[in-house]
Structure 1
Amino acid sequence: MRAVTIADFGTTPAVTDVAKPAAGPGEILVKVGATSLNGFDGAVVYGVFKDMMEHKFPITLGKDFAGTVEAVGEGVNRAVGDRVFGVVMKPVVQDGAFAEYVVVGEGYGIAALPESVTDAQAGALGLAGSAAAGVIDAIAPQRGEVVLIAGATGGVGAYAVQLAAAAGATVIATARPGKEAEFVTGLGAAHVVDHTGDIDAQVRALAPAGVSAAVHLAGDPGVLAGLLVGGGRLASTLGFGPEQAEGRDIQVTSVMANPDAATLDRLAAAVAAGTLQVPIGESFGLDSVAAAFGAFGAGTVGKIAITVG
């Protein structure tokens, strides 16, 4: 089968022929219809996690998947032909979703795909959507509170803006003027601050007393923490945790994406209901994944989708 692989850290991702996998006990073989690019994929290419996770080359890249069950192993309840989506969650980095087929476990990182949600939408939903749900759950925004989201133009940020706005919060999003600002306001941000300028001054002009909560997906977490009111909440996907905020009267949570079935079901139901947009900025075919990495590095807003089937 065709798959996007790397032969070593730092090598250029390329389409190669690899053996089609088979589903073992408790596993599902998915015929991939769509996937998407995440920061994790770039981190794998450059070896960011080489001392934290085991890697086996050649590595097939890709975390998100959406498609159809092709075959099931012993003890699996799903049926051939079922539409599913989710995130490849394996202890070894080797077999990803930038391929015509991927094997995943039934117990974690997979959910049923509602009929009205397309593969392209679901393929860009799992990892970024789960991370966004995690940070918004952590700060638990209340109606009328002001929430600052730093890194709002990326995939996680685009979902976080929508989830915070849906909770009734007044969202301040970081974005450059022009296309980026239009993007985040279209998702529900009430105000935009330019992250290339003085964020503190811009936010204070909108919320002189500070913000109730902040989401750290990019930039300096210390600046965000300094903008919180007493007892304010901050959630970070970039390793900023309670120990870094010691001595401050704030609550800090370090968040990792948790694509369990309940979270994936919640996200898919929101997309099906039309209350959550899947923010696809650009789309590429499997043969153009190298170009997709280039677009990611150039700062495409939203998600970069990859069509497989």
Structure 2
Amino acid sequence: MRAVAIDRLGGSEVLQVVQLEKPRPGPGEVLVRVACAGVNPADWKCREGYLGGFLEYRFPFVLGFDLAGTVEVAGEGVHGLPPGTRVFAQSDVGAGKWGSYAEFACVSRESVVVMPDNLDFASAASVPTPALAAWAGLFDEGGLRPGMKVLVHGGGSAVGGFAIQFARCAGARTVATCSADNADRARTLGAECAIDYRTADIGDEVRRWSPEGVDLVLDCIGGGSLPGGLEVLRQGGILVSILTLAPGDSGPDHEAAARRGLRTAVAYSRMPSGETLGRIAALLAAGRVRPPHFDLLPLVDVAIAHDRLQHGHVRCKQVLQVAE
């Protein structure tokens, strides 16, 4: 099969289009013929070795967390997914197995979800990791409930866009930070107020929107980009940071929060992820949630997608077209 693999850790130059043996599904696995693969910031961090504490790299190594395609064959013990079924999933690359930058990928049955009929492969491939991260931050760590007030920091990102929509679906009220270019989209997705982080004082704007503070801050950016995050929380509120794996990003100040009667947490999508992705698929199928805007690039341009994400030269989600 054709795949993008690395034979060492490093910059985008280590990404090579190669021919590899097609994998065979083991018990409880599904072999998926990949049509499209989503590209996430975690991919370039994986390429440079920042996931070394979570997995053992064995070269050649195929990157890629997100995929959409059709079932090629189901492994032993797998039922209900006949060949040709349209599916999407978060790959098992986080467990050290080959990921989605390939014509075929073996994925745990517990992570594979039937695609909503109203999505094409490219749209579906843009969903898993950012949607699962947003869900984990809001619900698993943040305990989101109807009527709560939420600040989504990074509302213009794929994670932030999903967070705004999930909060709206859950009956919460949301304010979001984003660039001026993304303000209209943030409001369309459900944010009551969009704050331009480049020109406005975020704390002042949040307190103007909610003088008593917010119940939950979801930091989708990290890296110290929200210095006053604790200041806008009401007593007993929680600041949740999405795990970035970026060098030097230590996450929220847990001790400072505790001294003030506030809570903090770090969110990441848990594996296997099919149960949660199934809930998200239902929202997508009902039209209550939209996938992000994306650029569709051929597989051979994978290095371009990585460089855009790594150096901040991207305005929307990046998706690779693996097959026609």
Match of 1:229 among 209, 219, 234: 234
Give the Å deviation of 1:18: 1.6
2:284 to 252, 256, 271: 271
2:247 maps to none
Q: Name the residue aligned to 2:265.
A: 253
Matched, 1:208 2:211: yes
Are residues 245 and 187 of structure 1, via their aligned partners in 2, closer, same or farther at CA, if it must alter by over 3 Å?
same
- For residues 293-308 of structure 1, the aligned pairs below 5 Å read 293-296=306-309, 297-308=311-322
The one-letter code sitting in structure 2 at the alignment partner of 1:231 is G
Aligned to 1:25: 27
1:20-61 CA-partner distances (Å, limit 9, x unpaired): 111122221100011211111011112112244211122211
Does the aligned pair in 1 maintain the 2:116–2:284 contact within 8 Å? Answer: no
Following superposition, the deviation at residue 254 of structure 1 comes to: 2.1
Q: 3-state SS of the aligned residue for 1:184? A: helix
Greater Cα shift, 89-98 or 264-273: 89-98
SS at match of 1:223: coil
Give the Å deviation of 1:129: 0.9
Q: 1:301 to 1:190 in 2, by over 3 A?
A: farther
Q: Is the 8 A contact 1:58 1:94 kept in 2?
A: no
User: How far apart are the structure 2 equivalents of 1:94 and 1:46?
Assistant: 16
- Per-residue CA deviations over 1:83-126 (Å, capped at 9, x if unaligned) read 221111256435110111101122x3222223333222221111
Which deviates further from its counterpart, 138-147 or 248-257?
Answer: 138-147
- Write the letter of the residue equivalent to 1:308: V
Task: Tell me the secondary structure at the aligned position of residue 77 of structure 2.
Answer: coil
Offset of 1:184 from its aligned partner? 1.7
Q: Deviations over 1:118-137 (max 9, x none)?
A: 22222111111111111121
TM-score by length of 1: 0.91
Asked if 1:287 corresponds to 2:300, the answer is: yes
* CA-CA distance at 1:243 after TM superposition: 5.2
Separation in 1, partners of 2:178, 2:155: 7
Tell me, which stretches of 5 or more residues in structure 1 are unaligned?
none
Contact conserved, 1:117 with 1:268, CA < 8 A, in 2? no
Structure 1 equivalent of residue 246 of structure 2? none
2:73 corresponding residue in structure 1 = 71
Deviation at 1:229, TM superposition (A): 0.5
Scaled by the length of structure 2, what TM-score is found?
0.87
Q: Which runs of 4+ in 1 moved over 6 A?
A: none
How many residue pairs are counted as aligned between the two chains?
Answer: 307
Question: In structure 1, what residue type is equivalent to 2:161?
Answer: A
Q: What residue in structure 1 maps to residue 43 of structure 2? A: 41
Paired residue for 2:184, among 179, 182, 197? 182
C-alpha separation between the residues in 1 aligned to 2:178 and 2:129? 22
Of the candidates 105, 115, 128, which is equivalent to residue 102 of structure 1?
105
Q: Distance in 2 between matches of 1:119 and 1:233?
A: 36
Q: C-alpha separation between the residues in 2 aligned to 1:222 and 1:46?
A: 27
2:144 aligned with 1:132, yes or no?
Answer: no
| 1:4 alignment counterpart | 4
